[in-house]
Amino acid sequence: MAHRWGMAVDLDKCTGCGACVTACHAENNIPIVGPAEAARGRAMHWLRVERYFEGEFPDVRVKFRPVMCQHCDAAPCEPVCPTYASHHTDEGLNAQVYNRCIGTRYCANACPYNVRFFDFFNPQWPKPLHLQLNPDVSVREVGVMEKCTFCVQRINAAEIAAKAEKRELKDGDVQTACAQACAARAIVFGDLNDPESEVARLSRSPRAGHLLEDLGTLPKVAYLERQTQV
């Protein structure tokens, strides 16, 4: 059966440390926009840790939620792209084809999760970060949209390796950078079509829910609700 890639994030384990954000930057050649541009609201974190404070002192509660592209099965960003730069693959990923993008930014407006980012300038990395670019991932030019791809380069590499070795992909063969970096193993990535995979098991948990589910986007990231309080 074809793969259907999905993710589960256990909010009970997440400490909000941000290692996943850093790993995503490193893996996917995400530009460093600099303090001035970040102040203008143009920071590009494909994966961000949303933090909310609730309540008044001394009953303050903190909530963390790592938010990345949900790879929605009914993604609102896909039909609005005039050039098919944003479309759905057969493995359930929302693909962003940089070469087709003409930068209308409609997809970013349509995305309720605000997980799409625009290259306002040609990317640059202050030295020595230019030495750590990932050769498996393209560098985007000014004027195109980019977002979390579920580390499609790793998925493709694993699939090619499995095909070459004439075997099936096992659960755990593909790890996204954020899942790999998470010290608490809060982020789990895998094939939702494999009922034995950890991500499928976690998605069936009674604690599992989805972000902005009532909008009808059919997101594929399951968030397991927090049971302990900070």
Residue number, 82 or 172, with CB nearest to other proteins: 82
Tell me how many degrees the CA angle 69-42-137 measures, rounded to the nearest 5. 50
The verdict on 61 binding other proteins (CB under 8 A) reads no
The residue type of 78 is: E
Alpha-carbon distance 211 to 63, whole Å? Answer: 14
The verdict on 86 binding other proteins (CB under 8 A) reads yes
**Residue pair 211/67 in contact by the 8 Å Cβ criterion:** yes
Report in angstroms how near the CB of residue 64 gets to other proteins at its nearest: 11
Contact pattern for other proteins over residues 159 through 198, marking x by CB under 8 A: ----------------------------------------
The verdict on 78 binding other proteins (CB under 8 A) reads yes
Tokens standing for residue 60: 């303050």
Alpha-carbon distance 154 to 179, whole Å? Answer: 12
The verdict on 37 binding other proteins (CB under 8 A) reads yes
Number of residues that bind other proteins (CB under 8 A): 55
Alpha-carbon distance 56 to 6, whole Å? Answer: 36
The verdict on 144 binding other proteins (CB under 8 A) reads yes
Stretch that binds other proteins, among 44-52, 147-155, 159-167, 178-186 (CB under 8 A): 44-52
Contacting other proteins (CB under 8 A), which of 12, 15, 51, 183? 51
Tokens standing for residue 72: 């929605």
Contacting other proteins (CB under 8 A), which of 60, 183, 212, 230? 212
Q: In what order do the strands lie in the sheet containing 208-209?
A: 187-191, 5-10, 221-224, 208-209
The verdict on 13 binding other proteins (CB under 8 A) reads no
Contacting other proteins (CB under 8 A), which of 20, 29, 66, 113? 113
**Residue pair 120/142 in contact by the 8 Å Cβ criterion:** yes
Hey, how many other C-beta atoms are within 10 angstroms of the C-beta on 38? 13
Task: Supply the DSSP string of 16-38, one letter for each residue.
Answer: ---HHHHHHHHHHT-----HHHH
Report in angstroms how near the CB of residue 79 gets to other proteins at its nearest: 4
Contacting other proteins (CB under 8 A), which of 24, 47, 145, 188? 145
The verdict on 121 binding other proteins (CB under 8 A) reads yes
Rg for the chain, CA atoms, rounded? 18
Give residues in contact with other proteins (CB under 8 A): 37, 40-44, 48, 50-52, 67, 73-84, 86-90, 100-106, 108-110, 112-114, 117-122, 142-145, 212, 215, 217-218
